[in-house]
Amino acid sequence: MRALPLILATAVAVPSIALSQGAVSAAGRTVWSGVYSAAQVERGTAAYAQHCASCHGDSLAGGDQAPPLAGGTFLANWNGQDAGALFTRIKTTMPLDNPGSLGGATVAAIEAMILARNGFPAGQADLPPDAAAQTAIAITPTRPAG
Ligand code: HEC
C-alpha cells in the first residue's frame, strides 16, 4: 500500500494539468489558428488597392515614407501584440491622409489580407469587424509548437 499516496497524487495532478492546458489553448488563439476566411482576403485585397497601396505599395513592401506591412520588420513591430491592436491602429490612424474613414468590415478585410500576405493560414470564419472581438488573437510570428 506504500504506492497509494503516489497514485492518489497522480490522479489529482493529471486532471488539473489537463484543465490548465485546456484553458491555455482556449485563450491561446493566435494568427496561426485560421482566424480569417479566403473570401475576406479577396475583399481586403480590393480595399487595400483602393485605400492603402498608394503609400504602402502593391506588394506591401512600403514606400518612400510608409513602412512595409509584410515581412520581418512588420512582424517584429507587432510581435506579442494582438490582432485587436492592429485593427485599432488601422481603423483610427489609416489611411494616413483620411484616418477613421473606413468601416470595421473594410478594416477587418484589409487586416485579413495583411495576415495572409504575412504567411498566416486562412480558416473558415471571417476575422470579426471590431477590435474587442480580436483581442484574444495573439500576433506571434513563429508558429506555436503543438
Ligand atoms: C498617405 C499615405 C498612407 C496611406 C494611404 C496609408 N498609410 Fe499606413 N502608414 C503610412 C505612414 C507614413 C506610416 C508610418 C507613420 C505613421 O504611423 O503614421 C504608416 C503606418 C502604418 C502601419 C503601422 C506599421 C507598423 O509596422 O507598425 C499600418 C499597420 C498601416 N500604416 C496600415 C495601413 C493600411 C491598412 C492602410 C489602408 C487602409 C494604410 N496604412 C494607408 C502612410 C499611409
Closest CA to 142 of 62, 76, 60: 76
Asked whether the beta carbons of 118 and 71 are under 8 A apart, the reply is yes
Pocket test for ligand 1, best of 50, 52, 88, 110 (most atoms within 8 A of CB): 52
Please report whether residue 123 resides in a domain: yes
Give the number of domains in the chain.
1
Q: Is the CB of 81 within 6 Å of ligand 1?
A: no
Q: Is the CB of 91 within 6 Å of ligand 1?
A: no
Closest CA to 89 of 27, 47, 42, 131: 131
Q: Is the CB of 77 within 6 Å of ligand 1?
A: yes
Q: What CATH number is associated with residue 87?
A: 1.10.760.10
Please report whether residue 6 resides in a domain: no
Which range of residues forms the domain containing residue 77? 35-134
Q: List the pLDDT tens digit at each of the 146 positions of the chain.
A: 555 554 444 444 444 444 433 334 445 799 999 999 999 999 999 999 999 999 999 999 999 999 999 999 999 999 999 999 999 999 999 999 999 999 999 999 999 999 999 999 999 999 999 999 999 999 999 999 87
Return d(Cα 140, Cα 122) in angstroms, integer.
Answer: 15
- What is the pTM assigned to this prediction? 0.86
